[in-house]
Structure 1
């Protein structure tokens, strides 16, 4: 593989001080729709048919499995690019390893959105995600948001079976306990 060839810019995840207040802003002011929640700590929002193009995560060092250091400040947690398939993602993972790129988490499959994911660092330490197989919600669908529990199933339905690097310690502790 020569380079990852994404199809489009996908979604972003922002760390926010007050997830409910931020959710109200993005739904009331921008007209986004809620797709799902994880407890009262994270909300997935959509403008189109992708399950989410914006996710908001409550600032809380105990909550943010993905990036504990990012869980204590507002702002970008990660941005993502769509790739064609899981097979392409697996090839990308090998390419990243060959290039010595720091892989943060994945390959995994989230609960909310059902998307496969692989997250890695750019030269400035930003989290970049490639994803595929995002759940689609037609614009005219009568979709009822689900509230997922904050557990291993919402983080990775494959339970780290395909993770390249060790998973975050907080999630490992949850896996052993539940």
Structure 2
């Protein structure tokens, strides 16, 4: 039986970075986020069009790692219900539900997923005063989705379905590689989370939504002119029907500019299995550099050293 859905959306993705100053300059500069708060070696970066207090947190550390992925819940009662479900299923909790001391406050807790990533779920977080992103303003409106590499794709998908009630939207597969990516959702957005087949547990990419096609292209061009390393794009995927331009941040984490991610009628939607060896599946437009093993490997990222190790903050 499918468990009751208690998550509402993706809140933020937190990164630990060795060269903190360089990363902060990149995210708050050319990438287009706004630093809204900070402390020594810790900064909170918001998207101007988003009510979330922040969408990326950077922490200075000796080793690069994914600190955590944070999701929202509607109420503190839902937070408590999820914690009880995870405890009953022997999921390892890092903390129990309580008032949060992070920016925006709220009520939440943290736990490890099946691959050892830290996940946070919270409710009643204060919203941030945000604004309408104007025409031709090529900065992120909001956080779109996060994609995670897993060495056991089926096991990770089953864990997120069983414990967090994620639903499968679509799958990428190929005749010689089998299933390589699952697109998962907790709301009508085609995916808030995707899981990719990789050689090790790591971050695949973080995606940011821009206002529209024109702003997406202007943002892509700004990064190219700034000399930021482009991994893949610009193009338009079939699964999710969204645009894509992938770039590296200064420490080799892959970031995406996107727009027009598909909104589903969940009552009538049936997942597709797309053969990603067909060029139009990876890029409907045919404008991106061709998908290849080299392009795929660039988003394998470094093995995450933070598995089953809770971040210090």
TM bin, normalised by shorter chain, reads 0.7 to 0.9
Bigger Cα Rg: 2
Quick one: which of 43, 54, 59 aligns to 2:193?
54
Q: TM-score, normalised by structure 1?
A: 0.80
Structure 2 counterpart SS, 1:73: coil
Q: How does 1:43-82 map to 2 (within 5 A)?
A: 43-59=182-198, 72-82=199-209
Alpha carbons 2:139, 2:219 under 8 Å: kept: no
- The runs of at least 4 consecutive aligned structure 1 residues that moved more than 4 Å come to none
Partner of 1:148: 274
**SS in structure 2 of the partner of residue 11 of structure 1:** strand
Structure having greater relative contact order (Cα 8 Å, sep ≥ 6): 1
CA distance in 2, matches of 1:19, 1:78: 16
> Residues 96, 22 of structure 1: CA spacing in aligned structure 2 closer, same or farther, 3 A cutoff?
same
Between Structure 1 and Structure 2, the one with more strand by share is 2
1:25 aligns with 2:177: no
Offset of 1:153 from its aligned partner?
Answer: 2.3
Output aligned runs, 1:2-151, within 5 Å.
3=32, 4-39=138-173, 40-59=179-198, 72-139=199-266, 141-151=267-277
Aligned residues: 154
Unaligned runs of 5+ in 2: 1-29, 33-137, 174-178, 296-313
In 2, the alpha carbon distance for the partners of 1:154 and 1:21 equals 25
Instruction: Determine the C-alpha separation between the residues in 1 that align with 2:196 and 2:250.
Output: 24
- Structure 2 counterpart of 1:65: none
CA RMSD in angstroms comes to 1.9
Task: Tell me the equivalent position of 2:24.
Answer: none
Encode CA deviations 1:84-142: one digit per residue, 9 max, x unaligned: 11111111122112211111111111110010011111111111101001110134x22
